[in-house]
């Protein structure tokens, strides 16, 4: 177990490439990844930063969403977790860790590409938690497309619905329940700022998320609602074995100055900061957590 709170060499703190070749069907599972990602299950310690808050987290079964859920729960927030029904096993384990300090955790499966479901999701979260004042949008996908000749309109439409449209649907549904002090947190990517050629469709959606964040922050500022985002670099999540070829899996993260991918737990404290009142003068920002990879 890695102790998050002891000084360590950050380049060697977590596993480094080369990694074992591995592929999974979309959406992938943490249980089949080698090595297993660290979401803070054993290492994250809360200190009450989100006590009494009520949060809806999408993509909360695994990867970044799982790490955020564990951190939020241990910081005192009650949580509604959204995930795809096929990811039930991952979500149930996430709920166990997120609730181990006494926070309430409810599971709300469903597909974010369905506009009507987004409204239902928010209403169910409000009913289960008795209100809502934090919305964290992590759920998304990352198709790899080698060239424009392989562009598929149906894949694009599904990607936009999940990665971009759901932000509008969820925010619209959640806003009537928010009061001053509420926080919305999006998840962009280093790809939204410095795209690679085989992730062009994904990169376009992530750039859109960064722009949504800044524009929506301006729209909601007078109501005391903050909107911020996180732009992860290469992070060891099920998106990798379910979305990219083995030759990239084996060297995943080696392009970062730290020479390794980040672990989901290494982003958790950034989401906690943006959700908490400690960041009360921060809005419209996207914080890069990239292992030193430039975001321009």
Active site positions, annotated:
202
Whether residue 138 contacts residue 39, with contact meaning beta carbons closer than 8 Å, is answered with no
Across the chain, the runs of DSSP E, i.e. the strands, are 54-58, 78-83, 105-109, 134-137, 183-187, 226-232, 286-289
Whether residue 257 contacts residue 292, with contact meaning beta carbons closer than 8 Å, is answered with yes
Backbone φ, ψ for residue 225 (5° rounding)? -105, 125
Looking from the CA of 87 toward its CB, the CA atoms found within 13 Å total 29
Say which DSSP state 144 is in.
Answer: -
Residue 103 tokens read as: 């926070």
Whether residue 141 contacts residue 157, with contact meaning beta carbons closer than 8 Å, is answered with no
Edge-to-edge, what's the strand order for the sheet holding 183-187? 105-109, 78-83, 54-58, 134-137, 183-187, 226-232, 286-289
Buried b (16+ CB within 10 A) or exposed e, 170-190: bbebbbebbeeebbbbbbbbb
């Amino acid at each position: 177990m890695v102790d998050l709170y002891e000084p360590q060499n950050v380049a060697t703190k977590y596993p480094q490439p080369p990694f074992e070749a591995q592929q999974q069907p979309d959406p992938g599972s943490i249980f089949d990844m080698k090595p297993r990602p660290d979401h803070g299950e054993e290492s994250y310690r809360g200190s009450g930063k989100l006590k009494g808050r009520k949060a809806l987290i999408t993509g909360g079964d695994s990867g970044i969403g799982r790490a955020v859920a564990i951190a939020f729960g241990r910081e005192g927030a009650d949580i509604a977790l959204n995930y795809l029904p096929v990811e039930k096993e991952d979500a149930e384990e996430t709920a166990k860790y997120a609730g181990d300090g006494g926070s309430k955790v409810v599971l709300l499966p469903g597909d974010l590409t369905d506009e009507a479901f987004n409204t239902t999701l928010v209403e169910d979260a409000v009913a289960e938690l008795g209100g809502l004042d934090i919305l964290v949008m992590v759920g998304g996908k990352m198709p790899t497309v080698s060239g424009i000749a392989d562009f598929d309109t149906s894949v694009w439409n599904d990607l936009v619905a999940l990665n971009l449209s759901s932000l509008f649907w969820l925010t619209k549904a959640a806003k009537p329940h928010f009061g001053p002090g509420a926080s919305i947190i999006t998840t962009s990517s280093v790809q939204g700022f410095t795209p690679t050629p085989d992730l062009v469709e994904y990169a376009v959606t992530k750039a859109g998320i960064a722009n949504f964040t800044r524009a929506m922050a301006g729209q909601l500022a007078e109501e005391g609602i903050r909107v911020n985002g996180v732009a992860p670099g290469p992070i060891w999540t099920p998106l990798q074995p379910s979305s990219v070829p083995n030759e990239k899996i084996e060297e995943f993260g080696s392009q970062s100055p730290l020479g390794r991918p980040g672990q989901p737990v290494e982003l958790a404290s950034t989401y906690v900061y943006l959700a908490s009142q400690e960041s009360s003068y921060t809005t419209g920002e996207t914080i890069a957590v990239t292992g030193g990879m430039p975001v321009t």
